[in-house]
Amino acid sequence: MHNNTSSGHYNDAELYEQAIRYEKGSFITSTGALATLSGAKTGRSPRDKRIVNDETTAEELWWGKGSPNIEMDEQTFMVNRERAVDYLNSLDKVFVNDQFLNWDPEHQIKVRIVSARAYHSLFMHNMCIRPTAEEVETFGTPDFTIYNAGQFPCNRYTHYMTSSTSIDINLARKEMVILGTQYAGEMKKGLFSLMHYLMPKRQILSLHSGCNMGKDGDVALFFGLSGKIGLVKHGAATCLLLLPELSFPRSVHCFLGTGKTTLSTDRNRLLIGDDEHCWSENGISNIEGGCYAKCIDLSMEKEPDIWNAIKFGTVLENVVFDEHTREVDYSDKSVTGSLHARKLFDGIAGAAAENTRAAYPIEYIPNAKLPCVGPHPKNVILLACDAFGVLPPVSKLTLPQTMYHFISGYTALVRTL
């Protein structure tokens, strides 16, 4: 970085101080968490996420109709990279996180995150695997670097840009650039995209799943899409029956997530991870070092372990709290149900992206399995949200049926309008 910009690793307390002093909307809640705001974007921007299509990725990645990969060229990546680095260099200080991905030591990846906001640094500190002091000293060259200049927009007149947000991945340069969104989840999901590229080359399956283990070592995987909006009628969702003490609201309702985090965090089982895993010959390993729980309507009674994890060190995104008591009102969706959120979901009547979040280190869950690895899974659960009520609430699938439903994406929400 530029000589006038100081960069460094900060501890949790220092990051709290920096966030509270310099980042508007950052406060300590009654339980000690750092409550903060992600700005206009309160969820991911998949339509603004691009991958450089070069000689190698042209062959290796799926492009074109039906593919979720949106392309950009190397030159445009460099334009955005320069813009992000120039922005970061214009600041007095930037935050640097050197951390690891993947609890399987044989397939661990070193990542560096350079960010402008203390909130982003604390978030990644919680979400990636934390190195020891000695490992920080001997970290060396990272395998991948994120430049997060999310407060600064991309230039809408730059080739490929369709808004002021761009999340750009260059696999050859091993870099990711973020412009125009401060939603912290972009960083963790960007690294997950990287793992989807790197791990299959090593004959390892990267999985969007939660994972926990019974006392006898039986591992269960929970698959289900996140970040989808749904209109669910009471009683129509499969996951309702998997965890009957929780309930969906009575009427038509919009929400995110199918329950990987909620259902893998289970008092009676050891938590291996809530969202991203690798399945290799060695068994299962969590990619991350933390959890990113949705907290809309969170309560002590329904989800006690997640509730208790919201303490000093935890980042609370876009929640509303009482100015004096600093008690969080988890039913308040006014920040994430913003005009922007409504626009994001294409004007679906009454829709609000209820995406208030808590990011905490996995060891904040009392029965976390550390290190976060386990043997080959015994059960695979596909969580579905079938608003039509066509799927039986619980079905035991044969292997071909499982493959069919997994590949056809039926763990996603199926909605009515």
Ligand X SMILES: Nc1ncnc2c1ncn2[C@@H]1O[C@H](COP(=O)(O)OP(=O)(O)O)[C@@H](O)[C@H]1O
Q: Which of 72, 111, 296, 365 is close enough to bind ligand X by CB under 6 A? A: 296
Structure tokens at 316: 């609370």
* Candidate list 50, 112, 357, 369, residue with the active-site label: 357
Residue 223 touching ligand PEP (CB under 6 A): no
Smallest distance from the beta carbon of 66 to ligand PEP, in angstroms?
21
Residue 248 touching ligand X (CB under 6 A): yes
Whether 342 is catalytic: no
Q: Which of 213, 229, 263, 384 is close enough to bind ligand X by CB under 6 A? A: 263
Whether 275 is catalytic: yes
Residue 286 touching ligand X (CB under 6 A): no
Residue 259 touching ligand X (CB under 6 A): yes
Q: Which of 87, 255, 292, 321 is close enough to bind ligand PEP by CB under 6 A? A: 292
Q: Which of 10, 43, 222, 316 is close enough to bind ligand PEP by CB under 6 A? A: 43
* Candidate list 26, 145, 181, 226, residue with the active-site label: 226
Q: Which residue number, 81 or 294, has a Cβ lying nearer to ligand X?
A: 294
* Candidate list 48, 104, 266, 275, residue with the active-site label: 275
Smallest distance from the beta carbon of 381 to ligand X, in angstroms?
11
Task: Kindly report the length of the chain.
Answer: 417
Residue 260 touching ligand X (CB under 6 A): yes
Cα separations (Å) of 260 from 46, 227, 278, 322?
20, 12, 15, 30
The residues, any chain, with a CB within 8 Å of residue 407's CB and separated by 6 or more, are none
**43 interacts with, out of ligand X, ligand PEP, none, CB within 5 to 8 A per kind:** ligand PEP
- Between CA 238 and CA 397 the distance in angstroms is 14
Q: Which of residues 215-244 bind ligand X (CB under 6 A)?
A: 224, 226, 239-240, 243
Whether 208 is catalytic: yes
286 membership: H or E segment, kind and range: strand 283-286
Whether 357 is catalytic: yes
Diameter of the chain measured on Cα atoms: 62
Q: Which residue number, 128 or 296, has a Cβ lying nearer to ligand X?
A: 296
Whether 130 is catalytic: no
- Between CA 316 and CA 335 the distance in angstroms is 12
Structure tokens at 140: 């060396």
Residue type (1 letter), 246: L
Residue-wise DSSP of 24-42: TT-EE-TTS-EEE--TT--
- Between CA 192 and CA 109 the distance in angstroms is 11
CB 333 within 8 A of CB 283: no
Q: Pairing between strand 290-294 and 70-72?
A: unpaired
Is it true that the peptide bond before 371 is cis, omega within 30 degrees of 0?
A: yes
Q: Which of 294, 318, 341, 365 is close enough to bind ligand X by CB under 6 A? A: 294
Residue 319 touching ligand X (CB under 6 A): no
What character string, x for contact with ligand X (CB under 6 A) and - otherwise, covers 355-374? --------------------
Whether 260 is catalytic: yes
* Candidate list 189, 228, 269, 277, residue with the active-site label: 189
Whether 261 is catalytic: yes
Residue-wise DSSP of 348-405: -TT------EEEEEGGGSTTB-SS-EESSEEEEEE--EETT--S-SS-PPPHHHHHHH
Residue-wise DSSP of 84-128: HHHHHHTSSEEEEEEEEE-S-GGG-EEEEEEES-HHHHHHHHHHS
Q: Which residue is nearest to ligand PEP (CB)?
A: 226
> Which span (7-15, 151-159, 167-175, 184-192) binds ligand PEP, by CB under 6 A?
184-192
* Candidate list 9, 93, 208, 342, residue with the active-site label: 208
**230 interacts with, out of ligand PEP, ligand X, none, CB within 5 to 8 A per kind:** none
- Between CA 153 and CA 327 the distance in angstroms is 33
Residue 257 touching ligand PEP (CB under 6 A): yes
60 membership: H or E segment, kind and range: helix 55-60
Residue 261 touching ligand X (CB under 6 A): yes
**263 interacts with, out of ligand X, ligand PEP, none, CB within 5 to 8 A per kind:** ligand X
**Would you tell me how many other CB atoms lie within 10 Å of the CB of residue 396?**
7
Q: Which of 130, 189, 253, 369 is close enough to bind ligand PEP by CB under 6 A? A: 189
**Which are the catalytic amino acids?**
44, 189, 208, 226, 260-261, 275, 357
Q: Which residue ranges make up the site for ligand X (CB under 6 A)? A: 224, 226, 239-240, 243, 246-248, 255, 257-263, 275, 293-294, 296
Q: Which residue ranges make up the site for ligand PEP (CB under 6 A)? A: 43-44, 185, 188-189, 226-227, 257, 275, 292
